[in-house]
Amino acid sequence: MTAKTLLSHSFRIAGKDLTELFRNRLGLVMLVLMPIFMMSMVGFIYPSSGSTVSNLPIALVNEDRGYWNSTIPSQTLVTLLQQINSKTGMMVLSNASRVDDLKSLVQKGDIDGGIVIPGNFSASIMNGEQGTLIIVTDQSNPQISATIQAVLSSVFDQLGTALAQQKVQSLNPAVNASNSLAIVKPYKVQTEGVVSGDTSYFNFIAPGIMAMTVMMSVMTGLPVAISQEKEIGTLDGMMVAPINRLSIILGKTLGQTARGLIQGVLILVLSVGLFGVVIQGSIVLVFGLLLLGVFSFVGLGIVITSVAKDQETAQMMMMTLMFPMMFLSGVFFPIQQMPWYMQTISKMLPLTYASQALRKVMVLGAGIPAISAELTILIVFGVVMTAIALPVFRRMMTR
């Protein structure tokens, strides 16, 4: 059999699979809806621009007893706090009379946290000591708790700086606002990325979701493409035709690749068009990586489908593999946050490298040299899995 015939048969089989896909209206709708839902959810929850923190319900308890009947420091603090909040809209501030009331409101879920100005606040400030402010957080929600801590710490830092500047200027009228800031804060930190623009969680997650969707598409599509055909008997028709087994496997692979790419492209279009993701690198490289991602998952998918007795078992095996991959491959959380042993597992998964490479290209504008390690791993993984898949699939077809 010539290579031309082999390829022509493969294209025919891939064409057949795609025709079936396009004629299955509900299946097609789901194929399109799945990436739309996924990206819409993530995109609207974690927008790529603007503040992600707003309208946090926070209660304020002012227990300041003052210093010789003067509560100027705490009043100034509250006024400045309200001024900053009216500009940023980060908090919805309310008042509580006691710390216990504040804690009770947190327990009920009416507020996300609180600020307590202790009784000795003004006295400490007036006596030239450091005043203490207490931030009360909701420990049942670590993410919000961390956000509130960060937001309030930043607000109090600004307040502290403003007060210190005032003090410096009052001590020496020759010092202007700019000089007083340099005295209070001799260093300022300037953060710069590799490319221009701000980053966001959506920019981090979009490339990972693209790689993950391609993986899911291939891993869920293969059991249908192979096991289902085996079960309903259509594969038998193909088996008795004068067609090479390699053509069948290649055809199935091409069909699944096209299916995965359709979803990958949809995600890409949604990310760019609807959620403002900017692709810093080459779009061709993004497509190339999506293709490579498909290639690396197809071999694994074929092995599983071949080993499984029926479609149900194949799907269960796929799900069992897919879920840990989704969470361990750094799609949703950076793998650096994981303990070392989980990071070791993560480094064995192709999805880690596919999402990492896509992220580097899309967010950092990396070229081929910068992702050569990921490319090599994906190619090697794909080649090894395909080399295992071919004999396993042939064996499955002629048990």
Partner 1 sequence: MPQIEAVNLSKRYGTFAALSSLNLRIEGSKCVGYLGPNGSGKTTTLKLFTDMIRASEGKALINGVPVHENKRMALEHYGALIESPEIYPSFTPKEALSMTAEIRGVPREEGAKRIEEAVAEVKMEEWIDKKVGKFSKGMKQRALAAALLSDPDVVLLDEPTTGLDPRGMSEVRELLSL
- Cα–Cα distance measured from residue 211 to residue 168, given in angstroms and rounded to the nearest whole number: 55
- Enumerate residues 22-41 that contact partner 1 by CB under 8 A: 23-24
Question: In whole angstroms, how large is the CA radius of gyration of the chain?
Answer: 29
9 binds partner 1 (CB under 8 A): yes
Site string for partner 1, 214-243 (x = CB under 8 A): ------------------xxx-xx-xxxxx
DSSP reduced 3-state for 243:
coil
1 binds partner 1 (CB under 8 A): yes
Q: State the nearest-atom distance from the C-beta of 336 to partner 1, in Å.
A: 47
- Cα–Cα distance measured from residue 345 to residue 367, given in angstroms and rounded to the nearest whole number: 27
- Enumerate residues 243-282 that contact partner 1 by CB under 8 A: 243-244
Q: State the nearest-atom distance from the C-beta of 376 to partner 1, in Å.
A: 36
Q: Determine phi and psi for 58, rounding to 5 degrees.
A: -130, 135
Q: Determine phi and psi for 5, rounding to 5 degrees.
A: -65, -45
Q: State the nearest-atom distance from the C-beta of 237 to partner 1, in Å.
A: 5
Helices assigned H by DSSP within the chain:
3-23, 25-45, 72-88, 99-108, 121-126, 142-171, 177-184, 201-222, 229-232, 234-239, 245-273, 283-307, 311-328, 340-346, 350-364, 372-397
Query: According to CB under 8 A, which one of 12, 28, 194, 376 is a site residue for partner 1?
Result: 12
173 binds partner 1 (CB under 8 A): no
- Enumerate residues 339-398 that contact partner 1 by CB under 8 A: 397-398
Choices 9-17, 130-138, 185-193, 346-354; region in contact with partner 1 by CB under 8 A: 9-17
309 binds partner 1 (CB under 8 A): no
65 binds partner 1 (CB under 8 A): no
5 binds partner 1 (CB under 8 A): yes
- Cα–Cα distance measured from residue 105 to residue 125, given in angstroms and rounded to the nearest whole number: 29
Q: Determine phi and psi for 175, rounding to 5 degrees.
A: -80, 125
**Which residues contact partner 1 by CB under 8 A?**
1, 5, 9, 12, 16, 19-20, 23-24, 232-234, 236-237, 239-244, 397-399
